Amino acid sequence: MREIVFDTETTGLNPAGGDRIVEIGCIEMLDRTDTGRHFHAYFNPERPMPLGAEAVHGLTEVFLSDKPRFTEKAEELLEFIADSPLVAHNASFDFGFLNHEFGLCGRPVVCTSRMVDTLALARTRHPGAKHSLDALCTRFGVDRSQRVKHGALLDAQLLAQVYIELTGGRQIGLGLVADTDDANITPVAGGVTIRDPLVPRPHFAGLEELERHRAFISQLANPLWSRFAAPS
């Protein structure tokens, strides 16, 4: 299944009050595996950057002044997310901004039925604990040392790892983790990798092991299974 993990940075908290998206980062996942494909863009919000928001993500008016407007990248973003479920932390916040921006440029909004909220997942799995992205990274051992300030692409990459852990860890469906030997990995178009199947390992006892087992069994006094063995 294809899913998109994404995060946004904004000028504030209220799109209805004029706040805008200034950065978006999207990570493509197939069957809970990061494919390496992503969409990342900065946007000129065409409005001043409040000092409080700048302190969070470090994006200044000067830096954003030559970046494209959201409407210029909207079609490319819609093509990337396609009809996949969209995973975000406190997803209603990001969905609110995303759909506000799509509405401003006359594009179709994203149905909230596609929304997967990792904050809700974390609250269900770990009630009473801290559920910020930083706290979840610490809980699951995800390296966040590069997260000096908030950044949409970096935060989406961290959230993708957290999402894997929240939905069953790295062995989804009891499947064994594949060997990461580079010789068994084939890159294909779109940044997706295909791993060649490995030769099955022999999981049976050798003659020497069978002899040691028989010697050990012979030393047991009145073993339970002897009560049910047919008389010789």
Residue 188 belongs to some domain of the structure: no
Residue 231 belongs to some domain of the structure: no
150 catalytically annotated: yes
Amino acid at 97: F
- What is the model's pLDDT at position 232? 55
Helix (H, G, I), strand (E, B) or coil at 31: coil
Residue 209 belongs to some domain of the structure: no
Residue 228 belongs to some domain of the structure: no
What is the domain extent for residue 134? 2-175
* Active-site hit among 38, 89, 150, 213: 150
Residue 27 belongs to some domain of the structure: yes
The residues pairing with 34 across neighbouring beta strands, listed in sequence order, are: 29
Residues of the chain under the 70 pLDDT cut = 170-205, 225, 228-232
pTM to 2 decimal places? 0.72
> What is the SS3 string spanning 118-165?
HHHHHHHHCCCCCCCHHHHHHHHCCCCCCCCCCCHHHHHHHHHHHHHH
How many structural domains are present in the chain?
1
Q: What is the CATH number of the domain that holds 22?
A: 3.30.420.10
> What is the distance between the alpha carbons of residues 213 and 42, in angstroms, rounded to a whole number?
66
Q: Which of 137, 99, 167, 117 lies closest to 5 in space, CA to CA? A: 117
Residue 36 belongs to some domain of the structure: yes
| In the block, residue with structure tokens 């060997």 | 179
- What is the model's pLDDT at position 31? 92
The radius of gyration of the chain's CA atoms, rounded to the nearest angstrom, is: 26
Q: Per the structure block, which two tokens stand in for 110?
A: 């994203």
- What is the model's pLDDT at position 203? 58
